[in-house]
Amino acid sequence: MKKLKTILTAAVLCLFAFNAYSANTPVDNSNKLVILWTSDNPELAKTMVFMYAQNALRHNWFEEVTLIIWGPSARLAAENEDIQARIAQLKDAGVRIQVCVACARMLEVDDELREAGYEVKGMGAPLTYFLKHNYRVLTL
């Protein structure tokens, strides 16, 4: 009986040690891309932001791509139909679209961006998370 108790105690300690190790082991997010799009330049959006985001998924350069619409790009995304169509293509391809709610409110386009089906929310904490957890962040 004493031997069984010793074995069970050792097993429980191993389990706790493994869980403690797992909780502190950094997750490898290096295969996840976040594009922080801040420019209101439609040519930059078409020739770099959208092109790279779509190809990053299509060619498996990254397993996950998130596009954050922040600042002046929010107005462009809300008002330019060509840009809206291209963002819809990205969304259909699997790119996660997120919008900074504070920027969208300042530019008075938050309702339009929500209606377009984008995830409009506070982005300070998520961006900080991406930066601190080793996501690849590209800023344009």
Q: Determine, yes or no, domain membership for 1.
A: no
Q: Determine, yes or no, domain membership for 76.
A: yes
Q: Determine, yes or no, domain membership for 90.
A: yes
Average pLDDT over residues 5-11: 47
**In terms of C-beta distances under 8 Å and separation of at least 24 residues, what long-range contacts does 48-56 make, across chains too?**
48/140, 49/140, 50/86, 50/87, 50/89, 50/90, 52/138, 53/90, 53/95, 54/89, 54/90, 54/93, 54/95
Residue 86 domain boundaries: 28-139
Q: Determine, yes or no, domain membership for 7.
A: no
Q: Determine, yes or no, domain membership for 82.
A: yes
Q: How far apart are the first and last CA of the chain?
A: 66
**How far is the C-alpha of 69 from the C-alpha of 93, rounded, in Å?**
17
State how many domains the chain has: 1
Q: What is the pLDDT of residue 27?
A: 87
* CATH code (residue 114): 3.40.1260.10
- Model pLDDT for residues 78-124, shown as the tens digit of each residue: 999 999 999 999 999 999 999 999 999 999 999 999 999 999 999 99
Comparing C-alpha atoms, which of 127, 109, 131, 114 is closest to residue 67?
127
- Model pLDDT for residues 43-84, shown as the tens digit of each residue: 999 999 999 999 999 999 999 999 999 999 999 999 999 999
